[in-house]
Each structure stands twice: as structure tokens, then as C-alpha cells.
Structure 1
Amino acid sequence: MTNELSDFVQAPNQGLHPEVYEIENNAMDRSGALFARLEDLAPWDGKDLLDLGCGTGYWLPKYLSDSGTVIGVEPDANLLQAARARSAHIQVHQGSAEHLPCADESLDVIHARFAYFFPSPKNDCSAGVAEALRVLRPGGSLLVIDNDQQHGEFASLLQSSPWAAAQGESNFTNAWWEDHGATRHEVMSSWKFDSVQDLASVLHIEFPTQLANEWIARHPHATQLSYGYVIYQIRKEATDAQ
């Protein structure tokens, strides 16, 4: 399959290593701390939810409820088939943060998990925010899940990794979201893997080889590490006319 979106940039982790990224997703937030906070901030039971940058669709079935709809949007055409195979009750479309295949005011909740929203002096994400506000109903929320770059063992790895520079610097990122009217919420969770080998395979797609090997050498029997998240929430307010 080919990607037709002119502004598409393939994710180096999930896009190039979908099988390993499946292991990573399976290890992520097994305690449910992040998921519970997301649901507390913007409940989706009976609502219409969009998972933006859904990848292979790992999280899509977790959003299903007795009513409401779940939609996945993913720019990487090579991942769409796997996402669509997750459930017959979920719609999956090719699209991007700046080009959502959704009608105006048709959604209640949008989640963007490590997708598109990496603001930096060289990367303005305002177009994605504007598009999210277009498709959200009054009272709806955009929830962006990002890495906490200060707290947890994963944050220590990020601080040592040159690859993390593309995700933006935390002070700039926090200020950018504040300027766009977002509230900031921290959640501490963890990665928990089924084996030492699984953890090692994931570290090697997320970090440079030398950094990953150094961490593994210091923690030869580790199957988990603490992992902090930051959630940025923008809520679409109702106008006087509404």
C-alpha cells in the first residue's frame, strides 16, 4: 500500500516495527492508571470517540461501550488493515490530524496518543488543534497523551536520548499547550513486560542501540520500568448561540 497524504511522516517505531510495537502496547499501563484518568477527564461511554493516529488499532477495542461509536484515523496506509481487523464495530479511515475525515461537530472525544502533537520552535501543531475543534461538539474534548519527560525511569531514558529531541522540550511544550488553552495532567504508570527479551526488543526500537544496551546491562533481569504520562486537554466550549 502507498500513502497519499503529502505531509505524512512514517513513525520509526510503529511504522517500521509493528510487531514489536504490539508488544510495547501490551506492556503499557497494565495497571489502568492512564486509562482511568482519561475516562475521568472526558467520559466516552455512549459518546462518539476518535482515536487519532490509531496505528494498528491496539487501543480501539478498549473504547467500545454499549452505545456510541469508535473511529480510528491513521495516516500510514500500511497499518490500516491491522486496525480494521480489531473489531467489526469500529470504523477506521486514512487521514491525519490536519485532515480529519469527519463532519463538523460530529465527535465528543478525541484521543491522540503519541501522534502528531509534538510542538517545538520548528513544529507548529496549531492546524491539528483547529481541526480537532472543528469536528468536536460543544463540550467535547481533545486529549493528547504525551511522555512525561521529568518523572519515572522512562523519562530518564528520554533525557539521554538524542531521538527524543523531535518530541520537543518539556518547558516549551507545556507553554505551547497553555497558550492554546489546555490543562495539563500528570499520571504515573509503568511498562510491564512478559519477559526480559520483550523489554529489550522494545527498548531497541525506541532508543539508540548504545543507550538501550547500557540500560539493559544495568538492569539485566528487568521486566518493567516506571513510566510517566502527561495529558493535555482542550475542551471546546459552547458559544452563546449554542
Structure 2
Amino acid sequence: MDFPDFVRAGNQAVDPALYDIENGAIDRPGVLWSELVRLAPWPGRVLLDLGCGSGFWLPRYQEAAEVTGVEPDSSLLDLARDRPGHAQVLHGSAEHIPLPDESVDVVHARFAYFFPHTDFDPTPGLVEVSRVLKPGGKLVVIDNDTEEGEFADLLKASPWAATQGQDTYARDWWTSKGADTTPVMSSWEFDSRADLEAVLHLEFPRDVADNWLRAHPDRVCLSYGYLLHTWSRD
């Protein structure tokens, strides 16, 4: 049973296998991953992947002492549990984390829940993360940069951009909560043109995706900017 306030994702829940291809194209140079390690190291610590989806990233955290994935979409739980490694996967959400108080050192939220915009305030989830974090623990939110990079241009061309507020809305919201924001420019790099086309059609309206594809007929990659919002519990 899913949570009453849960909204199923329009990408991963629709096609988990294609979403794995999308994840595999993220940050192949490792720039984003290096920044995650620098901002909140997890070797020997307890890490929570909040909104872990089908668990694509769980095997990457093997140096952590403990790894927990929490996911609200019950249809993705078995996929996450089948990933290699020692992670436990629990049914929960940002507002309902099934872990004890002060039990986690590092929380990663990757493209999930913590996207503040004019129609949504993620403060309840931040309060819940604060509950499970140990004093001095860190939340790192991996968000899309809506200003820099070709991916940002696709976002701006999409109809839902109107609900996001000004380009700096998310950054300003996190600043108001005491977080630091680190921009990272990396890329999406696909193994084939067919994979790129399929993922763009999964993530964007067909006309937006097709316009970009026509303008870049030989490309299998594009620049992709990220914002890493790092919030520390006192």
C-alpha cells in the first residue's frame, strides 16, 4: 500500500529498465560523484538513500558501514532489494522515514521529493530528515540546475517550468533553510543514439525532445548541470 500523499513518478515508475539506462548515462566522468564524497563522506558511516527508487545507486555505497534505501513506490521495492550489496530497503517516504531518531550520518536525496517550487514546500520532509540524522549529520540533495547546461535548456522549454518559479527558486529556498549549494557541471553520455532518444522522450514532452534531437542530429551526449544542496543538522 502506498502513502496517501505519494505521487508516482512519471519516469521510473513508467519504465524502470529505461530509467536504469538514464541513470547509467549520468556523470560518467565522475565529477558529481566526487563532489558528493567531498561534501559528506560516507565510508564507515550510516547512509540513507531517501527515495532510492529501484535502487540503481545502492551498490555504489559499499564503503558505508550501513546502507538503507527508503522508497514510497511499492512497485519498485523488489527491484531495489535485488540490487547487489548489503543495503536494506524499506517502504517509507520523506515525511515517513521508518528509522529511529538520530540513527543516520548521511542522507542522499537524488531527484526525489526535495524540489521546492511555487506549488510545493518540502519542509515536512526536512523536519523528518532532521529527526533521523545524528547531530552533525548531513543531507545532500541532488537537484537539477535550471540555469546552466543543455539539460537546463530542455527544462526551460518544458510546460511544467512555469510552476518552478524563477530559475533560482530552489537555490533561494535552500539558502533560507541554512543550506549551502554547490553547482556541478557534468554530462549525460549514452551508449547509443537510440538510448538518448528514448530517455529524452521519457523525460520531456515529445515536441520538446524532438526539437532538441533535430537540432543535434549526431549527438549521444549533452551537458547536464546539477545543484548539490547540503544541509547539516546542528
Report the Cα distance in structure 2 between the residues aligned to 1:109 and 1:53, rounded to whole angstroms.
14
CA contact (8 A) 2:2 2:73 kept: no
Equivalent of residue 55 in structure 2, options 42, 57, 69: 57
CA contact (8 A) 1:74 1:95 kept: yes
What's the CA shift for 1:163? 3.1
What's the CA shift for 1:114? 0.6
Map of 1:123-162 to 2, 5 A cutoff? 123-162=120-159
CA contact (8 A) 2:48 2:108 kept: yes
Report the Cα distance in structure 2 between the residues aligned to 1:28 and 1:199, rounded to whole angstroms.
12
Match of 2:38 in 1: 40
Give, as a single letter, the amino acid of the residue that structure 2 aligns with 1:170. Answer: D
Deviations 1:122-158 (A, max 9, x none): 2111001110010000111000010001111111111
RMSD after superposition: 1.2
Map of 1:16-35 to 2, 5 A cutoff? 16-35=14-33
Match of 1:240 in 2: none
SS in 2 for 1:79: helix
- Shift of the 47–199 alpha-carbon distance from structure 1 to 2, 3 Å rule, reads same
What's the CA shift for 1:171? 2.2
Give, as a single letter, the amino acid of the residue that structure 1 aligns with 2:20. Answer: E
SS in 2 for 1:170: coil
- Shift of the 151–79 alpha-carbon distance from structure 1 to 2, 3 Å rule, reads same
Report the Cα distance in structure 2 between the residues aligned to 1:193 and 1:178, rounded to whole angstroms.
34
Report the Cα distance in structure 2 between the residues aligned to 1:169 and 1:95, rounded to whole angstroms.
31
Report the Cα distance in structure 2 between the residues aligned to 1:143 and 1:169, rounded to whole angstroms.
22
Report the Cα distance in structure 2 between the residues aligned to 1:168 and 1:116, rounded to whole angstroms.
17
What's the CA shift for 1:176? 1.1
Tell me whether 157-166 or 213-222 shows the greater mean CA deviation: 157-166
Equivalent of residue 209 in structure 1, options 182, 206, 210: 206
What's the CA shift for 1:4? 2.6
CA contact (8 A) 2:58 2:85 kept: no
**Structure-2-length-normalised TM-score:** 0.97
Is 1:182 aligned to residue 179 of structure 2?
yes
Equivalent of residue 12 in structure 1, options 4, 10, 13: 10
Match of 1:68 in 2: 65
What's the CA shift for 1:17? 1.5
- Shift of the 168–206 alpha-carbon distance from structure 1 to 2, 3 Å rule, reads farther
Report the Cα distance in structure 2 between the residues aligned to 1:88 and 1:23, rounded to whole angstroms.
20
What's the CA shift for 1:57? 0.4
**Structure-1-length-normalised TM-score:** 0.94
Give, as a single letter, the amino acid of the residue that structure 2 aligns with 1:100. Answer: I
